[in-house]
Amino acid sequence: MPKSQKNALSAQDWAEAALDAIGRRGVEGVAVEPLARELGVTKGSFYWHFTNRDALLTAALARWEARETDEVLARVQQETDPRARIQRLVTEVNTSRRASRIYTALSSAGKPSFVREYVARVSRRRLQFLIDCYAALGLAPERARQWALQTYSVFLGSLQIRRDLPDEWPAAEDPAFADYVRFLMVSLLPPEAGADDHDSGDTVDTPADTARIVAQSRH
Amino acid sequence: MPKSQKNALSAQDWAEAALDAIGRRGVEGVAVEPLARELGVTKGSFYWHFTNRDALLTAALARWEARETDEVLARVQQETDPRARIQRLVTEVNTSRRASRIYTALSSAGKPSFVREYVARVSRRRLQFLIDCYAALGLAPERARQWALQTYSVFLGSLQIRRDLPDEWPAAEDPAFADYVRFLMVSLLPPEAGADDHDSGDTVDTPADTARIVAQSRH
DNA sequence: GTTTATCCATACGCCGCCGTATTGACAGAA
DNA sequence: TTCTGTCAATACGGCGGCGTATGGATAAAC
């Protein structure tokens, strides 16, 4: 049972290439023969690893789901303060352009219907994570849910704006970016931990954490 | 010069059908022959009205751009109070499911590259409209821009959530929907007209206007 | 009633992609 | 060396969509 020839491709290599193609050309752009050309092989290789194109998409989606739930949330959960977690999640918008494009492509894909299930699961876990963060701040369940929906909307909308109007969005190295993140945090964090309403009081932001987390945003 | 036969199709009919197909199947789903089947004709009709598929997409995009800028903004501009305009724009999310799907499909389309130009123009005009609204409230230009970006992010993100997680989103007839809109308005409206910062003070919402505008949201 | 312009049907060739079948190269086990 | 399992190349048939060519069909103009 030789496990690896010289430059043998694995199913994971194909799945990763498919994810790349999703990010660059959308789900419809995941075609077997062009993908094989990009990998320097022919279809003969593909149909040894997978039964058909849907199997490749399923593998790519499974890979994506695992990455976007366990890994990302685990990274954010390194923060202990719920406020820091929320802010970290917002700044994560600017971490990976590739991940953003993959998400928007998947979210708007219609053709293989099972794509929507993966997107729904990932979105649900992200939203639930935010709900838990706001609940940890002492908000009532419905209140936490409203805050989480608002924050997740800002998160997704930011992806969209960076895609549609890239020049209208402050670059990560621009000081206006840090300004904008601080501005957002005022709206996205309830004014007082344990309070149930948010239109009174101040002393909201923690500038030290803000600067630290913003500095972590790469690219 | 007979201007209309019995049941003759016009170029506008084709463009409208193309917009419908964009909303239902995405830009890639705009295919000449399936569209002709849906319209009860054959390709022979299409290639009389248009030179090729790109010309159809261009016509559909021009139609969409005119509708999403002049018409929508004119409708919102019926409101005189800038706060009411902003709230009206947010509630417009729930007005037309069709328009939402068309927008998200166009925004994530990659293949005909000129699609991005139309999307960019529409997004830019929407964002500028919001910036003007916040500037009309007396905010400094950079501040108005931050508020507008935040509000437009919420707007776009709401579209996305309603698409990915429709059951997590309150229905328009659900009282939770009006609650959520009121909640959003607290974050999306600066606390005091003429103020330059927004983390102090209260007396934000105007419940009468809120109820009136929410009631106008149809479907 | 012929003519003309408008609108559509039919038939064709082309290309890109899917999936299958078959064969081949190559590495380790025997 | 021979055998066997792993990975890939080649060749083939099929399908769906694009664009063209050509020939009706119909209604108005004259």
Q: Which long-range contacts (CB under 8 A, 24 or more apart) does B30-35 make?
A: B30/B56, B30/B57, B30/B60, B32/B56
- At B193, is the secondary structure helix, strand, or coil? coil
- At B108, is the secondary structure helix, strand, or coil? coil
Q: Which nucleotides on strand D sit less than 7 A from a protein beta carbon?
A: 5-11, 16-23, 26-29
Q: C-alpha distances in angstroms, B160 versus A9, A12, A119, B154, B207?
A: 36, 29, 11, 10, 27
Give this prediction's pTM.
0.85
**What CA–CA distance (Å, rounded) separates A103 from A22?**
9
Average pLDDT over residues A157-172: 91
The distance of Cα B185 from the centroid of its chain, to the nearest Å, equals 19
Of A94-103, A180-189, B156-165, minimum mean pLDDT range = A94-103
Do A76 and A129 meet the contact criterion of CB atoms below 8 Å apart?
A: yes
Do A59 and A114 meet the contact criterion of CB atoms below 8 Å apart?
A: no
**Is the C-beta atom of B163 closer than 7 angstroms to strand C?**
no
Of residues A87 and A219, which shows the higher confidence score? A87
- At B126, is the secondary structure helix, strand, or coil? helix
Query: Mean pLDDT of all residues in chain B?
Result: 84
pLDDT at B77: 84
**Which among A154, A180, A200 has CB closest to B154?**
A154
Measured in angstroms, the CA of B218 and the nearest CA of chain A are apart by 21
CB contact under 8 A, A199 and B200: no
pLDDT at B1: 43
pLDDT at A214 over 50: no
Measured in angstroms, the CA of B3 and the nearest CA of chain A are apart by 39
Of residues A185 and A191, which shows the higher confidence score? A185
Task: Report, in angstroms and rounded to the nearest whole number, the Rg of chain B calculated over CA atoms.
Answer: 20
**Is the C-beta atom of A42 closer than 7 angstroms to strand C?**
no
Separation in Å: D18 C1' and A161 CA: 34
CB contact under 8 A, B156 and A161: yes
Summarize pLDDT for B169-206 with one digit per residue, the tens.
888 888 998 899 999 999 999 986 444 444 433 333 44
pLDDT at A94: 66
For residue A58, which of A69, A49, A71 has the smallest C-alpha distance?
A49
CB contact under 8 A, A164 and B105: no
Summarize pLDDT for A6-65 with one digit per residue, the tens.
577 788 999 999 999 999 999 999 999 999 999 999 999 999 999 999 999 999 999 999
**What CA–CA distance (Å, rounded) separates A196 from A135?**
10
CB contact under 8 A, A108 and B26: yes
- At B132, is the secondary structure helix, strand, or coil? helix
The H-or-E segment that residue B182 falls in is helix B175-188
pLDDT at A116: 95
Of A149-158, A210-219, B126-135, B172-181, minimum mean pLDDT range = A210-219
- A23 vs B contacts (CB less than 8 Å): none
Do A155 and A89 meet the contact criterion of CB atoms below 8 Å apart?
A: yes
**What CA–CA distance (Å, rounded) separates A152 from A184?**
12
Separation in Å: C23 C1' and A48 CA: 14
Measured in angstroms, the CA of B121 and the nearest CA of chain A are apart by 9
Q: Name the nucleotide with the smallest C1'–CA separation from A52.
A: C19
User: To probe the interface with A, which of B124, B134, B155, B160 has the most A CB atoms within 10 Å?
Assistant: B160
Summarize pLDDT for B53-76 with one digit per residue, the tens.
999 999 999 999 999 888 777 888
Tell me the H-state helices in chain A. 11-25, 32-39, 43-49, 53-66, 72-76, 82-91, 97-107, 114-136, 141-164, 175-188, 207-216
Do B205 and B189 meet the contact criterion of CB atoms below 8 Å apart?
A: yes
For residue B72, which of B42, B46, B92 has the smallest C-alpha distance?
B92
Tell me the H-state helices in A137-202. 141-164, 175-188
Summarize pLDDT for A103-152 with one digit per residue, the tens.
989 998 888 999 999 999 999 999 999 999 999 999 999 999 999 999 99
Average pLDDT over residues B47-52: 96
pLDDT at B5 over 70: no
Task: Report, in angstroms and rounded to the nearest whole number, the Rg of chain A calculated over CA atoms.
Answer: 20
CB contact under 8 A, A107 and B163: yes
Q: At what angle do helices B141-164 and A141-164 cross, to 10 degrees?
A: 110
CB contact under 8 A, A119 and B26: no
